[in-house]
Amino acid sequence: MTDTDTGEWRPLDIKGFMALMGPLLRATDAGDRGTYGFQTDDRHGNHIGLVHGGVLTSLLDQAIAILAWKAADRQPTVTVQMDSRFLGVARVGDFLKIRPEIRHATRSLIFVDAEIHSGTGPVATASAIMKITSKTGRTT
């Protein structure tokens, strides 16, 4: 990792698409436990050496989903809507920090915001609506 400037990180065991992108890391420091990290490399870049927007939105969606899942007492949640905004650039090789935060929750929906920062500042933000589902995939 090139820029894990503060704290310690632990890889999360996430199957599927995130496993293909590379490990998502969770901060282990008590005050930073809600922060996730991701080390970018050549696989995540576009033709001009920047991290592809699809990688950034995938990271936002994954961090949001983890927080929603925890808030729903570990019941499955699915993304109903996610609006993303690109604020800056991340360069291949940057270490990214992703921080999700619950804005509001109801019995069946969770509203979550998230942001990604690189060592040089904000890169992207997102707002999402997550639907709590049953283990069979039915919505509540």
Neighbours of 116 (CB within 10 A): 28
| DSSP letters for 57-114 | HHHHHHHHHHHHHHHTTT--EEEEEEEEEE-S--BTT-EEEEEEEEEEE-SSEEEEEE
**Could you report the per-residue pLDDT of 45-64, keeping only the tens digit for each?**
999 999 999 999 999 999 99
Predicted TM-score (pTM) of this structure: 0.89
Q: What is the DSSP secondary structure assignment for residue 44, as one 8-state letter?
A: G
Predicted local confidence at residue 48, as pLDDT: 96
